[in-house]
A = this chain, B = another copy of it.
Amino acid sequence: MKKILVIEDDKAVRRGISDNLTNEHFEVLACGDGKEGYEMARKNAVDLIILDIMLPSMNGNEVCKQLRQDGVQTPILMLTSKKEEVDKVLGLELGADDYVTKPFGTRELVARIKALLRRQAETRKELSELTFGDVYVDFKKQEATKRKKNLKLSSKEFELLQFIAGREGEVVSRADLLEEVWGYEVTPTTRTVDNFILSLRKKIETNPSKPKYLLTVHTAGYKFRR
């Protein structure tokens, strides 16, 4: 089930959106504060963010900009009031993917959300090669090098890396990894994932105990970043 984060300070609106999305079988996280929303976006494995512009403590544009700077690539849908026309462009420039003008109908909102999720699915990658830092990986050949020197990875490690790097910037939960990399109908526990992440880090990171690429997102999962 797709998970959506709603950041909107008006309680009534927030509730309304949440209810509607729940009815549409989305899982909803919500909050009414900019800073808090930013934290939640960073700390949770969400599939889409709905972001109001007017917010306490940190406005929507700021939140959006920050997230993008952090390498978060989750689709963001901005909510604007009519008066804030100017901000539309700004929002998109800052990295938002779409916007909806208040007041809006449920139907429109849901349609836009689905469009965004679909677009995201469309651009989802199955990597054939990957470069970051001093590491190069060829997934078809199952070959990897670090500083031109050969790097030995097991096929499960290749698969895991291919999957998580294909979702660069997204937080991926252990459960997702287990399902997608190991396959549904699996025995392994989530600890297994940790161990594979660990061994990958040992191989690809310059300083495995201070990872630069394979990052931990506490309570949510892992995230790949270049």
A213 at interface, CB cutoff 8 A? no
Number of copies of this protein chain within its complex: 2
Chain A interface residue number, banded: 35 or more
B169 x A141 contact (CB < 8 A): yes
A171 x B141 contact (CB < 8 A): yes
Q: A42-B129, A45-B128, A45-B139 are in contact. Are A219 and B122 (CB under 8 A)?
A: no
A202 at interface, CB cutoff 8 A? no
Nearest Cβ in chain B — how far from A23, in angstroms?
14
Q: List 22 A-B contacts (CB under 8 A).
A: A29-B122, A29-B123, A31-B123, A40-B123, A40-B125, A42-B129, A43-B127, A43-B128, A43-B129, A43-B130, A44-B127, A44-B128, A45-B126, A45-B140, A140-B169, A140-B170, A141-B170, A141-B223, A142-B171, A154-B219, A155-B218, A156-B219
Nearest Cβ in chain B — how far from A136, in angstroms?
12
Alpha-carbon gap, A126 to B41, bound state (A) = 11
The 7 residue pairs across chains A and B that have the minimum distance between CB atoms: A45-B128, A155-B220, A155-B219, A142-B171, A141-B169, A30-B122, A45-B126
Q: Which of A190-226 contact B (CB under 8 A)?
A: 217-220, 223
Nearest Cβ in chain B — how far from A112, in angstroms?
14
Nearest Cβ in chain B — how far from A224, in angstroms?
11
A177 at interface, CB cutoff 8 A? no
Alpha-carbon gap, A3 to B166, bound state (A) = 15
Residues of B contacting A43 in the complex (Cβ-Cβ under 8 angstroms)? 125, 127-130
Alpha-carbon gap, A30 to B170, bound state (A) = 19
A28 at interface, CB cutoff 8 A? yes
A18 at interface, CB cutoff 8 A? yes
A45 x B170 contact (CB < 8 A): no
Residues of B contacting A31 in the complex (Cβ-Cβ under 8 angstroms)? 123
Nearest Cβ in chain B — how far from A21, in angstroms?
11
Query: Of all chain B residues, which has the CB nearest A166?
Result: B44
Query: Of all chain B residues, which has the CB nearest A118?
Result: B18
Residues of B contacting A126 in the complex (Cβ-Cβ under 8 angstroms)? 3, 44-45
Alpha-carbon gap, A2 to B29, bound state (A) = 20
Alpha-carbon gap, A30 to B28, bound state (A) = 28
Query: Of all chain B residues, which has the CB nearest A6?
Result: B122
